[in-house]
Chain A
């Protein structure tokens, strides 16, 4: 059995899905991010002044791109996998000799593709508002790839447990959005009182946003090694959980 063909099939299906409904999946992030730039960048940002040695607009660009990547990687897998459960077409894969790791890799790969594509769109939109500088392209690529993988895995686990469409919006609304907004997208955590700096360090998004910002601006509130270690830990943990859940057939097999 050629697993690469099975993997390619799942990946192709996932990419076809989000490109077929591009008005719902690719356009909204571009509009949302334009509003952020207009409101936080131009209107409010001009009164804030510099942050971390850069003008406010340049400072928030990496965080806004990362916010789009996180949201889209997560929601793509959560909605696609839950939809496959709901329509029962997930059974197409379950009855076939597709190893569980291929199912996980296929869906996560699909989520990463959408996350990174939206990240590129947002980056292009941001060029209309600010000149983007690059400090280390490899750090940018590594961070965006690993972060999108982390949240795609999170979306998959959410979809496995979800029993209704409401269940796939609870985590993004009540956990993901607060963590993202408190993850240093709009501010440097060094501005926070010491206690809240400590609290921020248990927020994994802080590490992702800062590593990504380092790739663009060369500044970060956390060390790169720590950031990649945290991201790596989450990827390994979430992948293991996803594999165990699918192997046991939780939410998939009766």
Chain B
């Protein structure tokens, strides 16, 4: 099977000796929606830089749809559309010129490029701004412009480096829908993001990179299944006292309650427990629940746990078990 992306033993050492990538292996299937997660300085942008030939690798092999970037660089490049993290277009050129020129670099004729520019600028709600210089756009518009630009040659693989950074909630949701549609059309999408909810909402497979090494490479489902404990926050009726809640928490030995204040409880639930038990116990103690929510993003808990685990291994400490979202 030909993978959309196949990386083996990829290493990058910058001048000065900093080892950004320490021989990583990674594969992304065709048509996948793939998340590459990692803290700042983990090696995400360096990986993308090597894949898109903006960074020279020190060792290893990268294949794009079977084409090796060492031997078939131009062919490999033709499959990729890149949406970088930083704005990297001429601030003085009109939007339509930026798009048409970009298409031209991929050998797309001007009439075809004009049609595509109209299509994508309309889809991304930038058509009214087509003749304005890029510097006149807002941050969110600039980010959408970079997505339109990356699609001008109709790539088979789209790489997005934190595409929704600095974008408001409404626009972020519409961008998610747009990316889902692209993926449904068969475009392989690789996403790096700090927004873990974004990865959970969009991606089917995920790799976590830290310190230049892949610490996890699995499906989103399997990753989330590793979660042993989840924490829920219960907002309770307002006429309770701290003493009543403390007494309730101490008596309920089968479930771990924590009293936050006189109308809030936190509950840690493992896989063998369910929310019905919690509601039963609260109900029998005549405590009414106003509302309930997850304390934090589940993936965030896993992410922190995996990074900590790797860090402890590096430092020779015993591995801690996966913990809940406390």
Contacts and interface: CB of A to CB of B under 8 A. Distances in A.
Nearest to A106: B105
Contact of A9 (B52, B54, B82, B101): B101
B104 A1 contact: no
How extensive is the interface on chain A, given as a class?
A: 20 to 34
Contacts of B82: 95
B252 to A, nearest CB: 57
Contact of A20 (B53, B74, B92): B92
Interface of B: 14, 49, 52-56, 73-75, 77-78, 80, 82, 84, 86-93, 97, 100-109, 149, 153
Contacts of A47: none
Contacts of B149: 92
A6 B80 contact: no
Interface SS of A by simple majority: helix
A97 B78 contact: yes
A253 B104 contact: no
Contact of B77 (A3, A8, A9, A96): A96
A24 interface: no
B101 A91 contact: no
Contact of B90 (A89, A96, A249): A89
Interface string A63-85: 00000000000000000000110
Nearest to A6: B105
Given A92-B88, A92-B102, A97-B74, A254 B49 contact: yes
Given A89-B89, A91-B88, A254-B49, A13 B101 contact: yes
A95 B53 contact: yes
B90 A87 contact: yes
A96 B56 contact: no
Nearest to A98: B105
Given A1-B107, A254-B49, A96 B55 contact: no
Contacts of B86: 88
| Chain B interface, >50% SS class | loop
A39 interface: no
10 contacts: A1-B74, A5-B109, A12-B104, A13-B97, A16-B97, A95-B80, A96-B105, A253-B55, A254-B14, A254-B54
A6 B84 CA distance: 21
B104 A8 contact: yes
B312 to A, nearest CB: 31
Given A13-B93, A92-B88, 6 more contacts: A5-B104, A12-B104, A96-B153, A98-B105, A253-B55, A254-B49
A253 B53 contact: yes
A253 B105 contact: no
A253 B75 CA distance: 19
Contacts of A89: 88-90
Interface string A94-111: 111111000000000000
A93 interface: yes
A173 interface: no
Given A1-B107, A3-B107, A249-B56, A99 B74 contact: yes
Contacts of A98: 105
A2 interface: yes
Contacts of A91: 54, 84, 88
Nearest to B133: A20
Contacts of A16: 93, 97
A5 B56 contact: no
Contacts of A17: 92
A83 B91 CA distance: 10
Interface string A213-254: 000000000000000000000000000000000000100011
A10 B52 CA distance: 20
Given A1-B74, A1-B78, A20-B92, A92 B105 contact: yes
A223 B101 CA distance: 43
